């Protein structure tokens, strides 16, 4: 009997030789199936062999080991992981959005259905649009793109908007350093995203959708396009979604690669074929989005949560998590970390559990000095802050942000002053140039940090840096300039010695934390403000979070 083996086709596995391993196993006589990655990236290529007890995993398999693997001779090499589902790293997680990733073949629609797929859409089609949105509102689902804005409020605004055409746009730009969950979901289980977008379309009355995917993700582009073709062929997309009479057409648009094109209004400009530049809000995209029509813009993981919310009910999703951070978050461990990859867990898990228990400390073996959470605009946090629970509000109160769930680990060799300089430099390079605090402030920020580090009029330049940070935080049109002070201030607060500053520098609060968090407590984030009804003030016009669908931040 030929052995059946599973070899990931995920880009991370392919980058370390998975295709060659698959070819070698096929040549050695095995039946090779391709799955997504389980997310244990330090073990790739992770090959799974079907056995009576389950799929037994073997880590870091090379093409030269294909014969030995099939002959059962890899058990004593330290590569035998046992039954993969029982591996402690996986067993301790709560995989909801990633339940099928690594388990099924990504474009096998029958397997998708057999593993619970389409139950959410089928249920949504038995409900009214209002009831579908209510389930999402009741679930407490918040945007996973960074700002954490309640998805139900956004969907309700689009649902009640009057227009001949409405759109659902998925933001798969995933520009944050250290983030890869969107890519892995699309490469490993694309039908979950397609189903989530179809649910959103049914809920708000949209007939067309686009996935905005970065050109740096060729595997994801290929897999998603194939999945969309299959979805059309099976009536999941097109003139009558699953025979319901709802039309929903979906296509992929490839971005040329600019961090700012992840900001939702720049993304809409880019989708319209223009240079990506931030639009002033109001009007918000939910009312005037793509081609001026009401548009849902959500991150991949937000939309990918919708099938579970609808299948099990909003209350089941709301039962997970902590405080106002409901459900699970797909954390991404990267940087100098021993065990990098995907950890999906209920909100409330501590940073320490993620970095130390799952991550296993640094890859270099040296002590952890810091982690940066939430992408390049996120705060640097020292180990003393690792008991912080993963919770939008707790992070905001600590002057940090959960963002898209990326956690980048640094060992003691990190130079916090250099990282602060890099934050300003990154902003200068990626700024869309529309507003002065960001366009000019970021360049001045690099210069001021250089002077502080060189010891040139250090005291007055520290005052100047704080003044500059306050101007950028309060005066920028979007969160690109608005949040760049976050990594700068956190680096200066925790490691003043890396700037040549002897005593700790107390951190100034970046902004009222709720302002960039899409926090429902934020008066500017109420449904009224959200719908633009409260417009008029400077903050409402300029604070990305204030009137936007999203809090605008990729925090
Ligand atoms: C500079 C910048 C970059 C951003 N990049 C992304 C991105 O790559 N992906 C994403 O989903 N959201 C990104 N966002 C956030 C989006 O503007 C928006 O909040 C999000 O797509 C809304 O979806 P959500 O409510 O599901 O999070 C970015 C925001 C800013 C300011
Ligand atoms: S803060 Fe201003 S210049 Fe910077 S990216 Fe946003 S809109 Fe453009």
Ligand 1 close to Cβ of residue 552 (< 6 A)? yes
| 396-403 average pLDDT score | 95
- Give the distance (Å) from ligand 1 centre to CA of residue 297: 9
Please indicate, yes or no, whether residues 135 and 276 belong to a single structural domain of this protein.
yes
Ligand 1 close to Cβ of residue 255 (< 6 A)? no
Q: Is residue 35 in some structural domain? A: yes
Task: Express as a percent the part of the chain with pLDDT over 70.
Answer: 90
Q: Is residue 205 in some structural domain? A: yes
- Give the distance (Å) from ligand 1 centre to CA of residue 554: 5
Ligand 2 pocket test, pick from 260, 261, 434, 553 with the greatest ligand atom count within 8 Å of Cβ, gives 434
Q: How confident is the model at residue 527 (pLDDT cuts 50, 70, 90)?
A: very low
Residue 177 has pLDDT above 70, yes or no: yes
Ligand 2 close to Cβ of residue 433 (< 6 A)? yes
Please indicate, yes or no, whether residues 164 and 310 belong to a single structural domain of this protein.
yes
Q: At what angle do helices 441-454 and 458-475 cross, to 10 degrees?
A: 160
- Give the distance (Å) from ligand 1 centre to CA of residue 548: 11
Ligand 1 close to Cβ of residue 550 (< 6 A)? yes
Q: Is residue 453 in some structural domain? A: yes
State the total domains in the chain: 4
Please indicate, yes or no, whether residues 317 and 399 belong to a single structural domain of this protein.
no
CA pair distance 457, 449, nearest whole angstrom: 11
Q: Could you say which of 267, 293, 321 is where a domain stops?
A: 321
Q: Could you say which of 280, 302, 321 is where a domain stops?
A: 321
First to last CA, the chain: 52
- Give the distance (Å) from ligand 1 centre to CA of residue 467: 27
Please indicate, yes or no, whether residues 267 and 247 belong to a single structural domain of this protein.
yes
Nearest CA to ligand 1 atom 5: 262
- Give the distance (Å) from ligand 1 centre to CA of residue 259: 10
List, for residues 204-214, the tens digit of each pLDDT value.
999 999 999 99
Report CA-CA distances (Å) from 517 to 35, 145, 277, 453, 512: 35, 11, 22, 32, 9
User: Is beta strand 328-335 parallel, antiparallel or unpaired with respect to 406-411?
Assistant: parallel
Q: Could you say which of 303, 321, 339 is where a domain stops?
A: 321
CATH of the domain at 331: 3.10.20.600
Nearest CA to ligand 1 atom 6: 262
CA pair distance 92, 86, nearest whole angstrom: 9
Q: For the chain, percent helix, then strand, then coil, each to nearest 5?
A: 45, 15, 40
User: Is beta strand 4-8 parallel, antiparallel or unpaired with respect to 31-35?
Assistant: parallel
Nearest CA to ligand 2 atom 2: 435
Please indicate, yes or no, whether residues 22 and 67 belong to a single structural domain of this protein.
yes
* Tokens found for residue 1: 């009997």
Q: Is residue 130 in some structural domain? A: yes
Closest ligand 2 atom to Cα of 438: 4
Q: Is residue 441 in some structural domain? A: yes
Please indicate, yes or no, whether residues 336 and 290 belong to a single structural domain of this protein.
no
Ligand 1 pocket test, pick from 263, 281, 327, 483 with the greatest ligand atom count within 8 Å of Cβ, gives 263
Please indicate, yes or no, whether residues 315 and 331 belong to a single structural domain of this protein.
no
- Residue 406 belongs to domain spanning: 325-411
| 113-117 average pLDDT score | 98
Ligand nearest to the CA of 427: 2
| 502-520 average pLDDT score | 49
Q: How confident is the model at residue 257 (pLDDT cuts 50, 70, 90)?
A: confident
List, for residues 416-442, the tens digit of each pLDDT value.
999 999 999 999 999 999 999 999 999
Q: Please provide the DSSP assignment of 257-294 as one string.
A: --GGGGSHHHHHHHHTTS---PPPSSSPTTTS-GGGS-
pLDDT at residue 506 in the model: 60
- DSSP secondary-structure letter at 389? B
Closest ligand 2 atom to Cα of 260: 5
Please indicate, yes or no, whether residues 315 and 168 belong to a single structural domain of this protein.
yes
Ligand 2 close to Cβ of residue 260 (< 6 A)? yes
- Contact indicator for 36, 10 with CB cutoff of 8 Å: yes
pLDDT at residue 502 in the model: 82
Ligand 1 pocket test, pick from 145, 284, 325 with the greatest ligand atom count within 8 Å of Cβ, gives 145
List, for residues 485-497, the tens digit of each pLDDT value.
999 999 999 999 9
Ligand 2 close to Cβ of residue 396 (< 6 A)? no
Ligand 1 close to Cβ of residue 376 (< 6 A)? no
Please indicate, yes or no, whether residues 286 and 311 belong to a single structural domain of this protein.
yes
Backbone torsion region of residue 287, taken as left when φ is above 0, otherwise alpha when ψ lies between -120 and 50, otherwise beta: alpha
List, for residues 276-304, the tens digit of each pLDDT value.
999 999 999 999 999 999 999 999 999 99
Please indicate, yes or no, whether residues 403 and 426 belong to a single structural domain of this protein.
no
Residue 547 has pLDDT above 70, yes or no: no
How much is the pTM? Answer: 0.92
Ligand 1 close to Cβ of residue 298 (< 6 A)? yes
pLDDT at residue 490 in the model: 97
| 454-473 average pLDDT score | 97
User: Is beta strand 341-346 parallel, antiparallel or unpaired with respect to 328-335?
Assistant: antiparallel
- Give the distance (Å) from ligand 2 centre to CA of residue 472: 10
Task: Express as a percent the part of the chain with pLDDT over 90.
Answer: 89
- Give the distance (Å) from ligand 2 centre to CA of residue 343: 32
List, for residues 4-63, the tens digit of each pLDDT value.
999 999 999 999 999 999 999 999 999 999 999 999 999 999 999 999 999 999 999 999
Residue 519 has pLDDT above 70, yes or no: no
Q: Is residue 534 in some structural domain? A: no
Residue 408 has pLDDT above 70, yes or no: yes
List, for residues 234-254, the tens digit of each pLDDT value.
999 999 999 999 999 999 999
Ligand 2 close to Cβ of residue 481 (< 6 A)? yes
Ligand 1 close to Cβ of residue 297 (< 6 A)? yes
Q: Is residue 99 in some structural domain? A: no
Q: Which residues on neighbouring strands pair with residue 408, listed in sequence order?
A: 334, 372
Q: How many CA atoms lie within 13 A of 341 on its CB side?
A: 27
Ligand 2 close to Cβ of residue 477 (< 6 A)? yes
Estimate to the nearest angstrom the gap between the alpha carbon of 480 and the chain centroid: 16
Q: Is residue 162 in some structural domain? A: yes
Please indicate, yes or no, whether residues 300 and 336 belong to a single structural domain of this protein.
no
Mean confidence (pLDDT) of the chain? 91
CATH of the domain at 444: 1.20.1440.230
Ligand 1 close to Cβ of residue 173 (< 6 A)? yes
The burial class, CB within 10 Å (0-12 / 13-18 / 19+), for 338 is middle
Q: How confident is the model at residue 534 (pLDDT cuts 50, 70, 90)?
A: very low
CA pair distance 125, 250, nearest whole angstrom: 18
Closest ligand 1 atom to Cα of 176: 8
Ligand 1 close to Cβ of residue 548 (< 6 A)? no
Rounded to 5 degrees, what are φ and ψ at 247? -90, 135
Please indicate, yes or no, whether residues 226 and 301 belong to a single structural domain of this protein.
yes
Q: Is the peptide bond before 45 cis (omega within 30 degrees of 0)?
A: yes
List, for residues 52-76, the tens digit of each pLDDT value.
999 999 999 999 999 999 999 998 8
Ligand 1 close to Cβ of residue 41 (< 6 A)? no
User: Is beta strand 368-373 parallel, antiparallel or unpaired with respect to 341-346?
Assistant: unpaired
Residue 533 has pLDDT above 70, yes or no: no
CATH of the domain at 301: 3.40.50.11540
Ligand 1 close to Cβ of residue 152 (< 6 A)? no
């Amino acid at each position: 009997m030929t052995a059946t083996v599973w070899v990931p086709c995920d880009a991370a596995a392919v980058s370390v030789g998975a295709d060659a391993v698959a070819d070698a196993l096929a040549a050695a006589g095995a039946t090779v199936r391709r799955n997504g990655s389980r997310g244990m990236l330090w073990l790739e290529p992770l090959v799974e062999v079907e056995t009576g007890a389950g799929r037994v995993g073997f880590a870091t398999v090379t093409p030269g080991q294909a014969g030995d693997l099939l002959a059962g001779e890899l058990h004593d090499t330290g590569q035998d992981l046992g039954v993969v589902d029982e591996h402690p790293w996986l067993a301790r997680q709560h995989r909801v959005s990633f339940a099928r990733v690594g388990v099924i073949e990504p474009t096998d629609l029958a397997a998708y259905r057999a593993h619970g797929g389409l139950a959410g859409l089928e249920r949504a089609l038995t409900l009214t649009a209002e009831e579908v949105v209510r389930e999402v509102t009741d679930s407490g689902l918040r945007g996973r793109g960074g700002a954490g804005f309640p998805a139900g409020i956004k969907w309700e605004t689009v649902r009640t908007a009057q227009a001949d055409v409405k759109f659902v746009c998925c933001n798969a730009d995933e520009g944050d350093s250290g983030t890869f969950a969107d890519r892995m979901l699309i490469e490993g289980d694309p039908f979950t995203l397609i189903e989530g977008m179809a649910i959103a379309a049914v809920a708000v009355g949209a007939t067309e959708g686009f996935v905005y995917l970065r050109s740096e993700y060729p595997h994801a582009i290929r897999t998603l396009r194939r999945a969309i073709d299959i979805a059309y062929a099976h009536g999941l997309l097109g003139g009558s979604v699953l025979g319901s009479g709802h039309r929903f057409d979906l296509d992929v648009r490839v971005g040329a690669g600019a961090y700012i094109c992840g900001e939702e209004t720049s993304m809409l400009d880019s989708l319209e074929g223009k240079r990506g530049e931030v639009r002033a809000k109001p009007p918000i995209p939910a009312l005037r989005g793509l081609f001026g029509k009401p548009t849902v813009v959500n991150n991949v993981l937000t939309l990918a949560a919708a099938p579970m919310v609808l299948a099990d009910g909003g209350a089941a999703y709301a039962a997970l998590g902590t405080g106002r951070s409901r459900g699970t978050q797909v954390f991404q461990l990267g940087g100098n970390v021993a065990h990098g990859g995907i950890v999906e867990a209920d909100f409330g898990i501590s940073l320490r559990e993620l970095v130390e228990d799952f991550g296993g400390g640094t890859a270099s073996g040296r002590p952890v000095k810091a982690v940066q959470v939430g992408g390049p605009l996120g705060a640097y946090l020292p180990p003393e802050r690792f008991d912080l629970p993963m919770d939008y509000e707790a992070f905001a109160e600590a002057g940090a942000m959960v963002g898209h769930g990326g956690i980048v680990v640094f060992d003691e060799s990190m130079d916090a002053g250099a990282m602060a300089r890099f934050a300003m430099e990154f902003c200068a390079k990626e700024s869309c140039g529309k507003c002065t605090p960001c366009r000019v402030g970021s360049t001045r920020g690099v210069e001021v940090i250089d002077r502080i580090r060189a010891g040139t009029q250090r005291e007055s330049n520290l005052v100047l840096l704080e003044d500059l940070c306050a101007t950028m935080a309060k005066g920028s049109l979007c969160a690109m300039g608005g949040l760049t002070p976050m990594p700068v201030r956190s680096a200066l607060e925790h490691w003043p010695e890396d700037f040549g500053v002897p005593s700790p520098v107390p951190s100034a609060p970046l902004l009222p934390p709720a302002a960039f968090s899409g926090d429902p407590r934020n008066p500017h984030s109420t449904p009224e403000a959200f719908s633009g009804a409260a417009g008029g003030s400077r903050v409402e016009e300029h604070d990305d979070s204030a009137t936007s669908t999203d809090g605008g931040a990729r925090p």
